[in-house]
Structure 1
Amino acid sequence: MKTVILIPARYASTRYPGKPLAELTLADGSRKSLIQMSYEAAKQVSGVDAVYVATDDARIKAAAEAFGADVIMTSESCANGTERCANALERAGLSADIIVNLQGDAPLTPPWFVEALIEEVKRDSTVGMATPVLRCDAETYAHFTEDRRNGRVGGTTAVFNHNNDALYFSKEVVPFVDPGKLPDPIPVFHHVGVYAYRPAALAAYGSWEAGPLETLEGLEQLRFLENGHPIRCVEVDGRGRVFWELNNPEDVARIESVLRKQA
């Protein structure tokens, strides 16, 4: 099955303008942009036929081409990464059996997270869309609750049924856990912002209007749930790595700390 990875990237982020071009300091003291690190993470995924950066911004296009990425220019009207992937697929005339949306703010995404998604879509022909979830360890759970206490939007959490199909995604920490009775393992799952779609699911998304839950939460994947389209949650193993996305400027220090530990 032909598989392509698209990295949607926009300059006009509400919380962090210019985020794809933000530079992080690596363990050796060198610096790389967020979009380059995300592209390099995508290139580590096995079984992928091509990787593209999808953007509507000339600055991001120039930066991506400078480090060797193929770029697909998309419409400025794309409201989120899924819309941008659908638009890129249509504009470039790409033919693929599985399209992976690896968002450009997640340079810490290990390749096996994406590989697990691809394998699940291949394994179960009924799955039109899949996304990874990672059980929170104590450090990540602490980051979640700290962000909420300080009024920041941090990572996203997911709840799902016995078939691993999503019930809901939220920027709140769900389910609620009594802080005085935190169990082990922690029953909170961090949603990792990566998606694998079959072409029909991606095409359907573009035909739906954003619903009230998507609008309130600011989470693009809720459009699938609001239209009765299942999302398969694939639990992945961090293998000792801490995963965090770059949602706010404060997250730069967190990610740089993880990079130093990994080195």
Structure 2
Amino acid sequence: MPYSAEISRRHPSCFLFLVDQSGSMADSFDPKSGHELQKAQVVADAVNRLLDSLGQRCVKGNEIYNYFDVGVIGYNSEVAPALDGSLSGQAIAPISTIYENPAELEHRTQQVSDGMGGIVEVSNDFPIWFKPIANGGTAMCNVFEMARGLLQDWVEKHPQSYPPTIINITDGESTDGDPREAANRLKEVHTNDGSVLLYNIHLSSEDVSQISFPSTADVLQDPYAKLMYEISSPLPKAAKNAAEKEGYKVSSESRAFMFNADPVKLIQFLDIGTRTDNLR
């Protein structure tokens, strides 16, 4: 069966995050609330938390097992690797290299329950690998082409591995053409265990219904949403299990796509897309 290969240090898998950095990412998620919850900042925080979480999953004793290679590519009118600091310019790196080399540690405070009905303020250092950017267009065709080149090289070195997973985070339509052809070429890249998995999540500032992991395009009214559904991969087993645990209704026909997501749905989507149940 496809998508069943064990993920190990000898046969790692790969996660590649494609992040829309166009001008509209400066918009607020909820403009009516008066809170400036900028999409670009929310996405940066979510990706940074996920990079930290992926690193923690790979810690065994005093060692970080390189179960994953990971990359972050930003795209607006240009397309380029988006990691900062000592990792600047690197498109894909082993998880140990990423986990041990954040660009900076940002001191943050948050209020949490004290377990007795009260609230206490807790401080921590938040690792930053990726910073928010919002300007220009949405070169989705070009970013899919860059991802294809990177992952073609990767699968040639890891033919027995669990296929790479791409998570594309965007709030708008492609401005450099119809992305179908580029997405289909990207999904033709494969290991012996299956084709590249392409997840797509659309972020919204509109007060409209969210649609998660649809099994048919008929539930989508927006032509752009139908296009994104079309280019998204079917959900693999591990992701279906993770989605069901989060309370989503999924079927054997569900696609790796979410439309009009808010910040909470974004975090859940990233977690579901990176869940694996075959680490060894």
Q: TM-score, normalised by structure 2?
A: 0.37
Q: TM-score, normalised by structure 1?
A: 0.38
Higher alpha-carbon Rg:
2
